[in-house]
Chains A and B, each alone.
Chain A
Amino acid sequence: MRLLRAWQTLVWLSARRMLFSSSTLVVLLPVAISLLFVLHRNYGAWDDSARAFDRFSRFLVAGYLLFVIPICTLAYGTSSLGGDREDRTLLFLLVRPIPRALVLLGKFSASVPLALGLLLACFGGYCLLAGEVGRLAWNAYLPAVVLSTIAYLAVFHLFAVVFRHATTVALIYALFMELVLGHMPGIIKRVAISYYGRVLMYAGGEPWGVRAPPAQWFEPISATAATWALAGLTVASLAAALAVFQWREYRDLT
């Protein structure tokens, strides 16, 4: 019972610290830019709704899934534990009689509602602005958004546990691995989380005429396999992060 209360306090404290931080403020920058973009394009007023849905989907895949989600999750995922490491307050957390696994799970649990809430709110905002097309997109792409967000958060928590300069590594991953390797031909793109997110989005938009890129550039797997892959990546990353955090001796805490 005491552990549960300690965990609740940690989640609440971490969520509050992350919410009222400069990360939240700067994450609003890409969100606001996207919002202005959707407002300018005014997809709801297009005569050809199939074309409007296709163009809105293109924006959601290339802008929202490939950039906004990784960047927002990077801001919260690396700063949840990385912030304590950077501020040298992790030591005070670790000397408390709380198991290390619970500390990490508390940090992860604090970042999930924040990142997911923000990303779903802005996804909902875009869909609302896009009118009827947006309503279809919300239903079609919601699973991809939720699963990708949680997977990114888990991977960035792993980075925060393993690397001292987690933001640096996460940024290389988000901009280089995800953007560059994710667009290469062959199966190399399967190392990127965004690949599975894109598979889910293309599968979701297929009934409304959204087509995946040509097969020589993008070979989709089934939506079920992509869902399992994202869930597996989340669980594996969290398990790896828990294992490292449990056994690692941090020498840079003071």
Chain B
Amino acid sequence: MSIDVARYHGWHGKLGSPWWATLAMVRVALLQVFRRKAYWIVLGLGLTQFLLFWSVIYAVTQLNPPPQVRERILEAFGFSAETAAPQDSGYILFMQRQSLVVMILLAFSGSLLVGADFRLQTLPFYLSRRIDRMHYIAGKLLAVAVLVSLLTWVPALLLFIEYGMFTSSLTYWVENWRVPLAVLAYGLVLCVCLSLLLVALSAWLQRAAPIAVTWSSLFTFLALLAEYLREETGQQAWALLDPWRDMRYVGRMCFGVFTRQSQEALAPWALLVLGVLCGACLLLLVRRVRAVEVVE
């Protein structure tokens, strides 16, 4: 009996690009994440911030509070009462405030999405398909980037849409057309930096506990010490030690909004620090994801 009779035969159609496989990796990664209750709890925590901002926008646009109260509420949340004013930075504030939830979510996801492939030796299954390590790395980075997006720039854009929809004309959207672009740019910075860092760390450390310890040391402990050093020495440059702050400075550069002169001066340096960090992570990652593992 020929093998064709057993309905086992090669594909005669046109083969698609292996880059499409990255989308399959993203789909599987999201399924893995959303299957677990703990992740829903963390996503729920992230949603509370979104609902808070949503309610504030609703209150100031629909409930017509006295101008002073309205001004105060908007000030507290970083929005400008005047639509044409340049400091429409409530979206930066929102994305900044999501940092703790994003950090916790990624600390868990690293082991599940990337570490397990190395620990349980499932990497050969990926690399035995028609994809090479670049596709694997791109798929994993994209998966983490989607998780980051779900908590940062996607809800920020929804808030922008909401603000415009609660006004009586298209003026808000037209006059603030730069805001969604800036949100997207800041979102891109967050996605690129966080996904590269997490995937590189997870590929090397593999287990949940070491990844969580390193991740929180990088993002919480360094921030704390940077703040101390900045306060005690008076040198603003210490702030560059904190990766979140670096991303925030670059984000402010995208928005063109700086609350202090020092932030503006440090923003290019923050970009440089992030560039070096991402380059190092990419090198480590390419070095770690090797087909030689399959032979071993």
Residues of A within 8 A of B (CB): 22-23, 25-27, 29-30, 33-34, 37, 40-41, 55, 58-59, 62-63, 67-68, 71, 74-75, 78-79, 82-83, 86, 165, 167-169, 171-172, 174-176, 179-180
Contact = CB atoms under 8 A, between A and B. Distances in A.
A25 B229 CA distance: 25
Nearest to A32: B217
Residue with the highest number of chain B CB atoms closer than 10 Å, among A33, A68, A171 = A171
B229 A40 contact: yes
Contacts of A25: 210
A34 B206 CA distance: 25
B150 interface: no
Contacts of B206: 22
Contact of B220 (A67, A78, A86): A67
Residue with the highest number of chain B CB atoms closer than 10 Å, among A29, A74, A78 = A29
Contact of B100 (A26, A34, A40, A175): A175
Given A167-B208, A167-B212, A37 B104 contact: no
A113 B41 CA distance: 34
Interface residues of B, number: 30
B272 interface: no
Interface string B71-104: 0000000000000000000000000000010011
Contacts of B212: 74, 167-168, 171
B107 A71 contact: no
Say whether chain B's binding surface is mostly helix, strand, loop, or mixed.
helix
Given A22-B206, A29-B217, A30-B217, A171 B108 contact: yes
Residue with the highest number of chain B CB atoms closer than 10 Å, among A33, A59, A79, A169 = A33
A26 B36 contact: no
Contacts of A82: 209
Residue with the highest number of chain A CB atoms closer than 10 Å, among B108, B209, B213, B221 = B209
A29 B205 CA distance: 13
B210 A26 contact: yes
B52 interface: no
B217 A75 contact: no
